[in-house]
Amino acid sequence: MSTKIPLAQSDSLLIEIFTEELPPKSLKRLGEAFRDGMHDSLKAFNLVGPNASVSGFATPRRLGVLITDILDKAPNYQIREKLLPVSIAFDQHGNPTAPLLKKLSALGYPHADISSLEKSGQDKNETLYLNTIATGAELQKILKPALEQTLKKLPIAKMMHYQILQSNGDLMDVEFARPVHRIIALHGQKILDVHALGITASNETEGHRFLAPGSLAINDANHYEADLESKAKIIPNFLKRRKFIQEQLIKASGQDQVLMPDGLLDEVTALVEWPAIYECHFDEEFLEVPQECLILTMQTNQKYFALTDKQGKLRNRFLIVSNIDTDQPEEIISGNERVVRPRLSDARFFFQQDQKRSLASRVADLGKVIYHNQLGNQLERAQRVSAIAFGISQALIKLNVPVNADLASRAAEIAKSDLLTDMVGEFPELQGIMGHYYAIHDGEHFEVAAACSEHYMPRFAGDQLPTTQTGTILAIADKLETLVGIWGVGLSPTGDKDPYALRRHALGICRLLLEKNFPLNLRELIELARQQFSQNEIREKAKSKDIYAFVMDRLRAYLRDQSVSGKPFTTAEIDAVLSQQPSHINDLIERLAALREFNALPESAQLSAANKRISNILKKTTTPIPTNYHNKKLHAPAELALAQALEAVAPKLLSSYENRQFVDFLKTLVTISGPIDQFFADVMVMDPDLELRDNRLALLQQLHQKMNLIADLGKLA
Residue 2 domain-assigned (yes or no)? no
pLDDT, position 8 = 66
Question: Rounded to whole angstroms, how far apart are CA atoms 260 and 519?
Answer: 39
Tell me which of 134, 155, 183 is where a domain ends. Answer: 134
Cα separation, 96 vs 159, in Å, equals 53
Average pLDDT score over residue span 90-94: 87
Region 133-159: mean pLDDT is: 93
Question: What rounded mean pLDDT belongs to the chain?
Answer: 93
pLDDT, tens digit, 9 for 90 and up, residues 414-472: 999 999 999 999 999 999 999 999 999 999 999 999 999 999 999 988 899 999 999 99
The residue range of the domain holding 26 is 10-74+139-231
User: Is 566 within a domain?
Assistant: no
- Taking CA atoms, 608 is separated from 573, 614, 639, in Å, by 12, 10, 19
- For residue 30, is it within any domain? yes
Domain count, the chain: 5
For residues 606 and 666, state if they share a domain. Answer: yes
Q: At what angle do helices 27-44 and 262-269 cross, to 10 degrees?
A: 70
Q: Are residues 191 and 107 in the same domain?
A: no
* Banded model confidence at residue 2, pLDDT cuts 50, 70, 90: very low
Distance of CA 438 to the CA centre of its chain: 34
Q: Does 383 reside within a domain?
A: yes
Helix 522-530 crosses helix 502-515 at what angle (to 10 degrees)?
130
**Considering the domain boundaries, does residue 434 fall inside one?**
yes
Considering the domain architecture, whether residues 280 and 384 belong to the same structural domain is answered as: no
Residues 322 and 431 in one domain: no
Show the CA angle centred on residue 273, arms to residues 272 and 276, nearest 5°: 65
Query: pLDDT tens digits for 219-228?
Result: 999 999 999 9
CATH number of domain containing 457: 1.10.3210
Return the beta strands (E) in 365-404 as ranges.
Answer: 370-372, 376-377
Q: Say if residue 605 is in the same domain as residue 642.
A: yes
Q: In this structure, is residue 1 part of a structural domain?
A: no
Dihedral over Cα of 455, 456, 462, 467: its sign: negative
Which pairing describes strands 171-176 and 305-308: parallel, antiparallel, or unpaired? Answer: unpaired
What's the 3-state SS for 139-198? HHHHHHHHHHHHHHCCCCCCCEEEEEECCCCCEEEEEECCCEEEEEEEECCEECCCEECC
What percent of the chain lies above the pLDDT cut of 90? Answer: 82
Whether residues 147 and 111 share a domain: the answer is no
Question: Where among 331, 354, 377 does a domain terminate?
Answer: 354
Tell which of 231, 256, 283 closes a domain: 231
DSSP3 helix / strand / coil % (the chain, rounded to 5)? 50, 15, 30
Residues 33 and 173 in one domain: yes
Note the pLDDT tens digit of each residue in 262-285. Answer: 999 999 999 999 999 999 999 999
Instruction: Tell me what pLDDT residue 564 has.
Output: 86
| pLDDT tens-digit series, residues 314-352 | 999 999 999 999 999 999 999 999 999 999 999 999 999
* Same-domain pairing of 544 and 415: yes
- Please check whether residue 4 lies inside any domain of the structure: no
Let me know if 488 is exposed, middle or buried by CB neighbors in 10 A (0-12, 13-18, 19+): buried
pLDDT band at 3 (very low <50, low <70, confident <90, very high): very low
Contact between residue 426 and residue 350 where contact means Cβ atoms under 8 Å apart: yes
Element (H, E) at 564: strand 563-564
In percent, the amount of the chain with pLDDT more than 70 equals: 99
**CA-only gyration radius of the chain, Å:** 36
Contact assessment for residue 558 and residue 510, using Cβ atoms and an 8 Å cutoff = yes
> Is the same domain home to 648 and 536?
no
Amino acid identity of 654? Answer: L
Q: 710 pLDDT exceeds 90?
A: yes
Between β-strands 563-564 and 376-377, what pairing exists: parallel, antiparallel or unpaired?
Answer: unpaired
How far apart are alpha carbons 413 and 449 in whole angstroms?
12
Which whole-number Å values give the CA distances from 646 to 471, 619, 670, 699, 705, in the listed order? 45, 21, 11, 9, 11
Task: Please indicate, yes or no, whether residues 334 and 371 belong to a single structural domain of this protein.
Answer: no
What is the per-residue pLDDT for 1? 37
Q: Tell me the pLDDT band of 312, cut-offs 50, 70 and 90.
A: very high
- In tens, the pLDDT along 47-77 reads 999 999 999 999 999 999 999 999 999 998 8
Q: In terms of domains, do 285 and 153 share one?
A: no
SS3 12: strand
Q: 455 lies in a domain?
A: yes
Are both 151 and 107 inside the same structural domain? no
Give the domain CATH number at 651: 1.10.730.10
Q: Which of 431-435, 625-629, 690-694 has the highest mean pLDDT?
A: 431-435
